[in-house]
Amino acid sequence: MASVKSTIRKMVPEPVMSIYHFFIAYFAAVRYKFPSKKMVMIGITGTKGKTSTANFIWSCLTANSYKVGLIGTANIRIGQSEMLNQFHMTMPGPSSLQKIISQMADEGCKYCVMEVTSEGIKQFRHMGIIFDFAVLTNLTPEHLAAHGSFDKYREAKGKLFAGLKKGFVKTINGRKLSKTIILNNDCPEKDYFQQFDADAKITYGIKKKADFNAKDIKDTSSGVMFSVKDVPYKLNILGDFNIYNALPAIIIANELGVLKNRIQKGLYELSLIPGRMEKIVEGQNYTLIVDYAHEKESMSAVLNTAKNMSKDSKGRIIVLLGAEGGGRDKVKRPLMGKLAGKLADYVIVSNVDPYEDDPTEIVEDIAVACEREGKVRGKDLFIIEDRRKGINKALSLAKRDDIVLITGKGAEQSIVINGKRSDWDDRRVVREELRKILRKKIKT
């Protein structure tokens, strides 16, 4: 079925497909009576960090007793109810998307946080959704094969911001909402997004001066501490890169009238984002983390966090990684391989989602780059296409105080190989394989 759909897409001219996507999205919004009109809609776009940013925003608003919906890569929330995203895409199809937003409105959500992807925008899935906040996390080359160039990729992201002021002004809880753009001032592409019209534009960052700057940063093995405008905050999620993901939450919560102590509470109490620096603990004597990292920047952030964590313990870093097929950017493969080869002690290259592409070609593109950094096959570099076996290998190599990183899929609920979709959850498979290994050790 997947190969038939792929063939049809290749045969139909792109302008025809665009018209098709436009009308499907428009009629979905009409069918569900434009439910986004009833809520404060917060759209988040960028190459990485969208899921963590969305969850931090959800937590800060929830800490103020607001009922908040969330639609993201890893999870979908309606108030305190949470389910994992089963769609294998960040933005579900138009009908499913509008149905979820409608359900949120019916269940009393006044706020909705939503990840907005370039592919979703290209297919008009955002059509009929009236946004009030547009957030840019960052922008680096990704999905270039799907868009044709970095400029077109950036232009697709920009449509979220271009449409912001065109949407009608809502009144929620007796308050008229300003159309607000929130930008990462440390992102080199920030100026492109700054050009779009809005009632307010707010910047954040760590390196360059911004409206909201993080200072006094302290990265620990249990989380991250920092301050903004002399107010201290603590995150219970690993990695100082998460400060970038928390800053938009501070800004939006502040704009929506949340008190500072509630914002502190919201950030502190969010201890788990599915598949984002998620610790797996089954009694092993080493640190085991599942993370979605699937391109150069996120892989660098995760590996550097592991480096910082291992400084005192002298533990080794073992990483499992791979790359997607299905039209994803091939250029990132050797870049990720180079990073893993340079920063990790052991590298296992395995399947992520080859789709209909040749899995061997994908893993070899990564493995060859690892070898250029001095890794040797069979010694500290292992190519194991079967992801379960690859995970087992990573766990089998681990010793006391090591850090094992299982990257590429996070909390995704399926894997696609040769066009066939199968149920999959890295966290479940990791636990299953880890328990097998631990049981075997007990017996011996």
Read off the pLDDT of residues 196-253 as tens digits, 9 standing for 90 and up. Answer: 999 999 999 999 999 999 999 999 888 999 999 999 999 999 999 999 999 999 999 9
> What was the pLDDT predicted at 220?
87
The pLDDT of residue 285? 95
The model's confidence at residue 168, banded by pLDDT at 50, 70 and 90, is confident
Q: What average pLDDT does the segment 348-366 reach?
A: 96
pLDDT score, position 350: 98
| 1 or 407, higher pLDDT | 407
Would you list the domain boundaries of the chain? 8-269, 278-443
User: What is the SS3 assignment for the chain?
Assistant: CHHHHHHHHHHCCHHHHHHHHHHHHHHHHHHCCCHHHHCEEEEEECCCCHHHHHHHHHHHHHCCCCCEEEECCCEEEECCEEEECCCCCCCCCHHHHHHHHHHHHHCCCCEEEEECCHHHHHCCCCCCCCCCEEEECCCCCCCHHHHCCHHHHHHHHHHHHHCCCCCCCCEECCEECCCEEEEECCCCCHHHHHCCCCCEEEEEECCCCCCEEEEEEEECCCCEEEEECCEEEEECCCCCCHHHHHHHHHHHHHHCCCCHHHHHHHHHHCCCECCECEECCCCCCCEEEEECCCCHHHHHHHHHHHHHHHHHHCCCEEEEECCCCCCCCCCHHHHHHHHHHHHCCEEEECCCCCECCCHHHHHHHHHHHHHHCCCCECCCEEECCCHHHHHHHHHHHCCCCCEEEEECCCCCCEEEECCEEEECCHHHHHHHHHHHHHHHHHHC
Give residue-wise pLDDT tens across range 172-199.
778 899 999 999 999 999 999 999 999 9
pLDDT band of 6, cuts 50, 70, 90: low
Given pLDDT bands bounded at 50, 70 and 90, which one contains residue 18?
confident
So what's the pLDDT on residue 88? 86
Bridge-partner residues for 40, per DSSP?
A: 111
278-443: what fold?
Protein-Tyrosine Phosphatase; Chain A (3.90.190)
Q: Is 174 left (phi over 0), alpha (psi -120 to 50) or beta?
A: left
Task: Assess whether pLDDT exceeds 60 at residue 8.
Answer: no
Residue 311 pLDDT exceeds 90: no
CATH number of 8-269: 3.40.1190.10
Mean pLDDT across the stretch 342-346?
Answer: 98
Model confidence at 5, in pLDDT bands (50, 70, 90)?
Answer: low
328 compared with 225, residue with greater pLDDT:
225
- Residue 143: pLDDT band with limits 50, 70, 90: low
Between CA 266 and CA 373 the distance in angstroms is: 42
For residue range 374-398, what is the model confidence (pLDDT) as tens digits? Answer: 999 999 999 999 999 999 999 999 9
Category of 128 on φ-ψ map: left (φ > 0), alpha (ψ -120 to 50) or beta: left
Q: Is the pLDDT of residue 286 over 70?
A: yes
